[in-house]
Amino acid sequence: MQYIQHFLGALVVVLCLGFAGLLITTDLFPMEIWRRNILVAVFILYAAYRGFRVYSGFKKQQKVGKHEH
C-alpha cells in the first residue's frame, strides 16, 4: 500500500513541475506576470515539499523492510 502512496506522490511532483514549466514557457493561461510568477513559485515549492515527503517515506520504508528480514 505504501508503494501506491509513493507512486502517487511522485506523480504529483512530476505534474507540479510540468505545470510550472508550462506556465513559464507558454502563454496558454493568460494572466499577469506577477501572478504567474507567484503561481510558479507555489508549484515548485509544493513539488519540493512532496518530493521530500516521498523521499523520506521511501527511506523509512526501506529501513523498516531491512529490520523485518
- For the chain, residues with pLDDT lower than 50 are none
| pLDDT score recorded for residue 69 | 56
CA-based nearest residue to 52, from 4, 2, 6: 6
pLDDT in tens, 6-18: 999 999 999 999 9
Burial classification of residue 7, based on how many CB atoms lie within 10 Å of its CB (0-12 exposed, 13-18 middle, 19 or more buried): exposed
Q: Where in the sequence is the domain holding 56, given as residue range(s)?
A: 2-68
Query: Looking at residue 61, what is its pLDDT?
Result: 84
Count of domains for the chain: 1
**pLDDT at position 9, please?**
93
DSSP 29: S
> Quick one: pLDDT at residue 3?
82
